[in-house]
Every structure is written in structure tokens, then in C-alpha cells.
Structure 1
């Protein structure tokens, strides 16, 4: 039930939405290396949400396998194949074992649970089974903005977020609308129905993703669950066109930002992974995906 979005939301919650300001962040370690290429893209995409100038994961065989044969990749056939030559160069694009960083943060992957935000910046994150911090736990300088954020969100300090009623679910954006994300959601909702009082929008990240989803029959699975598969685009990530969340309504979103008014005037955004978003779509409330998944 823990995926790449949970990893990066956990990191941002640890260091804050400004914790990497001015830096370039390299993500490394066994948990990162085990991720697919699309999952790695989600993590690097969210680097800016911790203030970073950018994020990177050193290329490895997963990277090369993903790139080979793609439209703009170096040719691996013909009279002048460039693939092997380029790949040898790319293999050197990693940090040396004795590289010195301005700051190193070590995280145990087993400590990460499905994550969700409760405030109005991506750094205000917590596990879905956790408790919203109390003002008493904060520095005096942080209390005013913290309470202002919770007031906007209509949430109370020191309470559980699990079980919070949800009105909308948005699965999309450049952060989590790749084919892997749609497969993940479709796999979970197959044979299920969305909650009656929840509206669900699924927006592929590109026409290519949309085409692939239809070819794989994912559109039929999503539609059978009551999910609305819309045309590719930015959509509700930033309240584009008519894709806005009404004032005061709660939306679990797989996008990257939860600022005040981001998804519409006075809309309340909770950032989460595609799986946590799908769980909320089915139950109508913030839920722990681990309690709903069928393990074989």
C-alpha cells in the first residue's frame, strides 16, 4: 500500500516545504533503486515542493530499459548504432562513493506508511493512521500559520484524519497520471463501486497515456466503478477551466500542490497517492489502503 508518492510526501513532511530550498536533491538507496522508472519520476517531480532546484536519481538498468527503443532514444540498430556508446557514458552519471553532500538525510523505508496532507502546503503531511499535530507541539513562531491553515481546511488539531468525509477524488496531474498510476488504480477498483456521494475524475497525463489505457481496457474498469475518465490535461490540479472543486468541499488529489484555492476558490485539497485516492473514492472517506487491499 506504500508507493512512491508516499515516499516523497514522507520526505517533505520530515524536512518541510522549504527544507531543500536552493539545493539539488539526489534520491538514493535500496528503496529508490527498487522503484520503476515512472515511480521515480513522481519522486523527482515533487522535489520542487520541498523548495529544491531539482531532483535526480542516478541512471541504472531500470533507466536504460525504460529508454531503449523510445522515439528520441539513441538508435540501437542500423549502420551507426549509438545506443551502446551512449549507455556507457550514462553509466558514469552517478555520485561517487566518497562524494560530499551539503546535507544527508537517512530514512528507513519501513517507517513510511500511506501518507496524506492535512494543511495548505505539501510539507503538512502525515500517515493516514496518524493524528493531526497539536498547536502545543509547535514552535511559537509556527502556531499562527498552522492554525490558519487548519481553519481553512476545517480540521482540528490533535484529531485523526482517517474517516474524514471526502467529496471529490482527482487522479491526475504530471505527478501521478502515468499509465502505471492508472493501472494501479484500475487493479484496486476492479469489481468495486465508488461511494454514491463522491465524484471521481481520472485525467490521463497525456494522449499517449489515454490511448494506452483504452487499449488495455482500463477505461472500462474505471467507468464500471463509476469513475469519470476525462480528456488529458492539467484539469483539477490547478482548477483548469470548469474542473474546479466547489468551495468548502474536500478533494483527495494525486497532484503536487495543496495551496489555498489551488483547485478552486476555498477548495480543500488533501494530497495522496493514487492508491489512497482510490481507497477514498470507494469508501467516501480518508481510508488506509492497507485495510482494503486483498493480499494473496
Structure 2
């Protein structure tokens, strides 16, 4: 009698998609879904067309306008980025010629790739999904193996249905205990990166597990997996469960029998071994805020800035030993594939209701993660709460998660942002960015300075 080896969740999906081994020791892995966006999509599709290579299965390829598209009311193909309109029009033409599904600028299902793919049930448990975007790892929250690739790899996946990969190592990050009020998935992942470094997950698929992870709703799990790439991991993944199956019910691209028996096998077996294990006491975590030039430069909001690289201190304008609390800010931003889903907006609006941003705030924006999120928020009156409090209400897109040569914040601004990267210049030249949860963004916008969201929760 053969005893079957205990496998991790990653190993089960990898083995199910393994096609062959190459002479160099890499593997050919079948790719179930490919997602493109307008920043790189046209280049990949046009290159394939020039080489007379058709998309092998157009039904498995999707494209969206999200990276460069304007988010101001009444938008069209015009962009603030010089030459940006060409990315949009060329992607539209190339997608039509290739016969793939396109969610265009004003399509009702338009939105950020990693927001609309789960919303529509394009990503499903056990699938492999790739996109030319490092935050594709977000979609591992649904129990899929999803990772970011380059444009040439996107061409290869569309033309052949497979990609060549070196088998990654495995890591499990287990969050023991329960989160305290005011502490979120964003704080969980920032605490992980701060403690283990921005390169701590390099070469690994990271499975997030434990009581605190199981307690998260699906959208919060997406936030956790979203920043696996900031940990240098190939991807993040979470075992699907009843919450996952309920979330996927009746999604457009999900099967009618959405609760498939196979999905219930997608969990790490007892006794399966990981190359590395990390355990974190979730109950000890606090709201986190970044302070330097990397997500690893993050700390509890009520702490003092540690000693770091001189360039990080110069960039952020804070010395070692300085408190974060009370640092004046100029800008507040809620958006991105990290924290712009309907649950994020609901929590932020609940804290803002009846309050107003400080007079010192020069700009405050809310950019929903998808058109569906925008409609849902407006149906619930959340947009009215944001605008009454002094925030601008926008259409969906990546927006000021990153500076693409178009819209920016006032030069020299210090921002508190619900985005995923605080690199130098990420939100524009001379902009100092602190990344945090939407709750911390709201608390700071109201105070006009970096503030602890738990103080407002006490007030409620």
C-alpha cells in the first residue's frame, strides 16, 4: 500500500498544472487565465500579431483599462499622462483584433485588475492566473496560484498556454490569536514585512494561515495577499473555505456549481512541510504606518522612528527617535488594489460620518477599486459621506497609487495613503508617502496629522 505524501496547498496546485520538466530543471506550468492592462497589454498583443502568433484560447484572456485611465468625472480616452491616450486606444484595438474580453474605460465592469477579477469570478480556487503586474498575488486570497509576470511572459502564456518556471520554495506565515479592534489585514502584512525585511519572502510562495487569517473576510484576505510582493515573495495564497465559496456564488465567470468538490481539497495536509515557518501573535499587533522608503520601514503608529538608512530619513524628513503621532500631513488618499474595495470604503465612511478633514489638508481623494464598488458605495450613500467630509469622489482606476507622469499631489506634500508602496517618487516627485490602513488614513485626515485610528473607535 502506497502512503500518499502530505502536500501543501501550493504543491497541490503546482502538481495539477505541471506539464513537463525542461532540460534546465525548470518546469512548464499550465496557465488558466491571463489578465492584461493598458500599460503593457497593447505591446504584448501587437508583438504577437506581428509574429503571426494567435492567442491560443481567447476565452481565457482578459484586458482592462486601469493603470493610466483618468479617474475624474466624465472621463474618456484622454489622460493627464502625456501620450497616455495611445495606450488606451491601442489596447482597445489590439484586444478586439485578438478576440479577447475587454473591460473598457467606461464599461460597467471596469476597475483595477486585481479587484475586478475576483468580483467577476475570473479567478477561482485552484486556478493559475498571471498578469503583467506585481500585485497579481492579491488573487491568491481565493486559493489560486496567481503571480506577476513581464510582457514577454504574457505573450508566451497567451500563445502557448504554459510558462516556464523554477519551482519556488514554500513558507507558511501563521497569525495566532485574534486582532484587536482597529487593527486590520494591512497592519498584519506591514508588521510581517517590518519584522522580516522586504526581502524576507524572496523565492517563496507564502501561505497565510492561522486563526486571525481565517477570521478575515475575503476582501481583507486580498489585502494580506496583495502585499506578498512587497515581501519579495513569488505570491501569497490562502486556503479557500466556506467564506470563499459564499463569496464566489453567482459571480459571472464562476461555474454554476460554484462549490466544487475539488475546491474542498485545496488545503495544506496535516504533516506537510514548509521550507520556512513564521509565527506572529496577532493579538499583539497595532495599527502600522510606514516611515521611510520601503514597506519594511513600518512601525506601530504610536511608536518612535527607528534608526534606518540615512537616505530613508532624508526622504521622509523624520529623525530616529521622532514620534510618528502628530506628524503634520498635507494629503490623504484612499484607493488602490490594496484597500479600495467596498468593505474598505464602508469602514472608512463609518469613521468619517459627521466629521470633516482638517483645514490643513490640501487634497483628499477616494478612488474606488472598480466601477462596481463605486456603484455599490453610491447606492449606500458612502460617496455623500466622503464628499461632506471634504474628500473628492472619483471614478475607479489605479490613480495616484503610482505616479505615471500625469496627475500628482502638490509638490512637497506629505501623504498618508492606503496604497502598497512608499518608494521615493511613487506618488510623484518630492512626495513623502506613509502607507497605512484606510482607518489610519481617515483618522489622520481628520486630525491633519498622523493619528491613531483606535482613538476614533473609542469615540464611536
TM-score, length basis structure 1: 0.91
Report if the CA contact (8 A) 1:201-1:229 is conserved: yes
Query: How many pairs are equivalent?
Result: 278
Shift of the alpha carbon at 1:241? 5.7
Inter-partner Cα distance in structure 2 for 1:205 and 1:217:
17
Residue 437 of structure 2: which of 269, 273, 278 is its match?
Answer: 273
**Could you say which residue in structure 2 is the equivalent of 1:34?**
215
Inter-partner Cα distance in structure 1 for 2:459 and 2:218:
24
Higher relative contact order (CA 8 A, sep 6+): 1
Runs of at least 5 residues in structure 2 that lack an aligned partner in the other structure? 1-181
Report if the CA contact (8 A) 1:252-1:269 is conserved: yes
Inter-partner Cα distance in structure 2 for 1:255 and 1:170:
8
Report if the CA contact (8 A) 1:239-1:245 is conserved: no
Per-residue CA shift, 1:221-280, capped at 9, x if unaligned?
A: 111111111121111110246431233210001111110000001210000000000101
Shift of the alpha carbon at 1:220? 0.6
Shift of the alpha carbon at 1:69? 1.1
Structure having the larger proportion of residues in strand: 2
Inter-partner Cα distance in structure 2 for 1:185 and 1:240:
26
- 1:287 paired with 2:451, answer yes
Report if the CA contact (8 A) 1:235-1:241 is conserved: no
Shift of the alpha carbon at 1:295? 6.2
Inter-partner Cα distance in structure 2 for 1:293 and 1:240:
36
Report if the CA contact (8 A) 1:246-1:265 is conserved: no
- 1:162 paired with 2:325, answer yes
Mapping for residues 107-186 of structure 1, pairs under 5 Å: 107-134=280-307, 146-186=309-349
Report if the CA contact (8 A) 1:197-1:284 is conserved: yes
Inter-partner Cα distance in structure 2 for 1:128 and 1:122:
14
Mapping for residues 221-260 of structure 1, pairs under 5 Å: 221-240=385-404, 242-260=406-424
- 1:264 paired with 2:428, answer yes
- Higher mean alpha-carbon deviation, 35-44 vs 90-99, is at 90-99
Q: Could you say what the CA RMSD is over the residues aligned between the two structures, in angstroms?
A: 1.2
* Counterpart secondary structure, 1:104: strand
4+ long deviations beyond 4 Å? none
